[in-house]
């Protein structure tokens, strides 16, 4: 029997403290993948912990000696520190004799470490872009208003280490960036490298495949993408998974009004501004409960953002209309879903829309837009098939008010609940795992074939007398920050 496929995955976001869809995806993907006999997974992961632990069937490795990591600590200092410590962990695993067949980087923040691992191991790199920061920056959702004026002391160093022309091939150097924010510029460059230079790239919706082709000039450079949706586990998320009385007690919700629940980051792309407009303009008869953290890297940024101030002001003025309960996860989040009569997702941009699957699986009728990947969940056939939610136009507060009124009808709610419970069957984790493993095998095959072609070309170019030994071409990552850190740590291995 052949040995299992050995996968080294890298994710900076703590998969226990799930702030967005990426952490949830990574945790569930490898939980289900670990059930296969033909795959072994090691995950380099940010989080509070030391050493290694068996976690849901795979092995999770924490950053070396890191005890105070928070998923959203600020600035390039945090990025470099995380990279360095994860590479130290990788170095330890190499010293123990560990080897892998493929490296999988989740999001741009993992790319430095992934490049160094790929260089050291000589194996293919698979990259997944969970959120396209380039698109959001182009469309003004980069968070300029929340950005603190203080500069990170490492900005100048990063400017020197980071490849200034990393995104030239993708036409991004002239694109909209934040010249005052070196971290944002660096992130955009890294995102371009992740999408274009990975041996195989995974995207979570057809909308993102189309977006990547346009944004990164993929047709020009001959890049192809793998479309793999996110999934939902109906054994974890189901209508009886939460306790509404527990949610009421925890958050002090005494109102007898029906509950309209918003779950997600408090960010412009999530449609929070038209939602607040609706709450302020009309008393819909609902108590809108907003469960989400402010999309800012520091408390100071969160406090000074106009949307934060507006949420607090509206909650004080209309306590019967709005209650903000901040970030919730785990059982506390399931309890809120169980409390909800209606779900709200008025997003203006969604790479996929994992929260929509959670609402459906928990038996909550959903009001949402059909932007980007979210539309592929709730209206997969457009105007020619079923709609699995009450669909509204984006950035329209009047539509939110009208939809809430329509869903006062118990029969309409029941119909949407039944449609949602039927729809989630199409997002099976075992199927998603099968597709991901096939991408790994395709990446390995691509690299093996590429090496064979390069060797054949090298042999044909060599003189008959064998004159001269051709120098090994320096890999691209040697010019990146990841390559720099990697060489420092792996020297002498």
**279 and 326: one domain?**
yes
Give the Cα separation of 232 and 25 in Å (integer).
9
Nearest CA among 432, 481, 490 for reference residue 183? 481
Cα dist from 167 to 188, 189, 216, 221, 486, whole Å: 8, 5, 9, 13, 21
Q: pLDDT tens for residues 141-197? A: 544 444 443 444 444 433 444 433 333 222 233 333 333 356 788 889 999 999 999
The answer to whether 333 and 263 are in contact (CB under 8 A) is yes
| End-to-end Cα distance, the chain | 31
Are 420 and 444 in the same domain?
no
* Residues 442 and 374 reside in one and the same domain: no
For residue 325, being part of any structural domain is answered with: yes
Among 426, 444, 472, give the residue marking a domain's end: 426
Examine the domain organization and report whether 42 and 171 are in the same domain. Answer: yes
Inside any domain, residue 237: no
Task: State which of 426, 449, 478 marks the end of a domain.
Answer: 426
How far apart CA 215 and CA 210 sit, in angstroms, is: 9
- The structural domain count of the chain equals 2
Render pLDDT for 74-131 as a digit per residue (tens, 0 to 9): 566 778 888 999 999 999 999 999 999 999 999 999 999 999 999 999 999 999 999 9
pLDDT above 70 coverage of the chain, percent: 81
Query: Does any domain span residue 289?
Result: yes
What pLDDT, in 10s, does the model give residues 344-367?
Answer: 999 999 999 999 999 999 999 999
Residue 345 near residue 135 (C-beta atoms within 8 A): no
Whether the pLDDT of residue 46 is over 80: the answer is yes
Phi, psi angles (nearest 5°) of residue 158: -65, -40
Range of the domain at 331: 244-426
Tell me: do 436 and 420 sit in the same domain.
Answer: no
pLDDT of residue 18: 75
Name the nearest CA neighbour of 186 among 269, 83, 303, 293: 83
Let me know whether 30 and 67 are in one domain: yes
Q: How many residues does the chain have?
A: 493
Among 191, 186, 189, 214, CA closest to 201: 191
pLDDT given for residue 302 in this prediction: 87
203 close to 225: Cβ distance less than 8 angstroms: yes
Mean pLDDT of the chain: 84
Closest CA to 120 of 203, 10, 201, 33: 10
One domain, residues 355 and 449: no
**Predicted pLDDT at 154:** 40
CATH number of the domain within which 260 lies? 3.40.50.2000
463 and 404 in a common domain: no
| Same domain (yes/no): 253, 284 | yes
Contact 331, 250 (CB under 8 A): no
Count of Cβ atoms closer than 10 Å to residue 55 Cβ: 20
Beta pairing, strands 58-61 & 52-55? antiparallel
Same domain, 484 and 379: no
Which residue, 408, 426, 444, sits at the end of a domain? 426
Burial 440-470 (b: 16+ CB within 10 A, else e): bebbbeebeeeeeeeeeeeeeeeeeeeeeee
Output the pLDDT for position 465. Answer: 47
Structure tokens at 118: 């790929």
pTM, two decimal places: 0.84
């Amino acid at each position: 029997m052949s040995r299992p496929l050995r996968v080294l995955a890298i994710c900076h976001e703590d998969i226990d403290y799930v702030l967005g869809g990426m952490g949830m995806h990574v945790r569930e993907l490898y939980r289900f993948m670990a059930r296969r006999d033909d795959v072994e997974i090691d995950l380099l992961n940010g989080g509070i912990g030391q050493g290694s632990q068996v976690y849901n069937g795979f092995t999770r490795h924490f950053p070396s000696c890191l005890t105070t990591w928070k998923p959203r600590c600020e600035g390039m200092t945090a990025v470099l520190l995380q990279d360095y410590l994860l590479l130290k962990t990788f170095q330890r695993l190499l010293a123990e004799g560990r080897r892998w067949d493929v490296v999988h980087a989740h999001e741009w923040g993992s790319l430095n470490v992934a490049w160094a691992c790929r260089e050291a191991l000589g194996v293919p790199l698979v990259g997944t872009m969970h959120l396209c920061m380039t698109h959001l920056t182009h469309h003004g959702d980069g968070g300029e208003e929340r950005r603190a004026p203080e500069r990170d002391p490492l900005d100048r160093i990063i400017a020197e280490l980071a490849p200034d022309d990393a995104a030239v091939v993708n036409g991004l150097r002239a694109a909209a960036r934040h010249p005052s924010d070196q971290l944002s510029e660096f992130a955009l460059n890294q995102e371009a490298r992740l999408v274009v230079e990975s041996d195989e790239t995974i995207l979570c919706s057809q909308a993102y495949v189309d977006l990547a082709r346009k944004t990164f000039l993929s047709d020009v450079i001959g890049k192809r993408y793998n479309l793999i949706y996110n999934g939902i586990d109906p054994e974890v998320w189901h209508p009886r998974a939460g306790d509404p009385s527990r949610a009421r007690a925890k958050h002090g919700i005494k109102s007898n009004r029906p509950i309209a629940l918003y779950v997600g980051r408090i960010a412009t792309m999530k449609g929070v501004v038209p939602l607040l407009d609706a709450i302020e303009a009309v008393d819909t008869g609902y108590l809108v409960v907003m469960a989400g953290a402010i999309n800012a890297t520091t408390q100071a940024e969160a406090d000074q953002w106009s949307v934060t101030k507006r949420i607090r002001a509206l909650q004080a003025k209309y306590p019967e209309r709005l209650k903000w309960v901040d970030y919730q996860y785990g059982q506390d989040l399931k309890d809120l879903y169980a409390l909800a009569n209606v779900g709200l997702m008025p997003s203006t941009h969604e790479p996929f829309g994992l929260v929509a699957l959670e609402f459906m699986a928990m038996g909550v009728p959903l009001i949402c837009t059909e932007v980007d990947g979210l539309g592929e969940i709730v209206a997969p056939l457009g105007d020619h098939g079923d709609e699995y939610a009450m669909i509204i136009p984006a950035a329209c507060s009047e539509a939110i008010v009208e939809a809430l009124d329509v869903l006062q009808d118990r029969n309409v709610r029941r119909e949407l609940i039944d449609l949602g419970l039927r729809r989630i069957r199409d997002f099976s984790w075992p199927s998603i795992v099968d597709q991901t493993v096939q991408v790994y095998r395709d990446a390995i095959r691509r690299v093996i074939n590429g090496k064979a072609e390069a060797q054949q070309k090298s042999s044909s170019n060599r003189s008959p007398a064998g004159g001269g030994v051709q120098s090994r071409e320096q890999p691209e990552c040697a010019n990146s920050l990841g390559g720099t850190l990697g060489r420092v740590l792996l020297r002498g291995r």
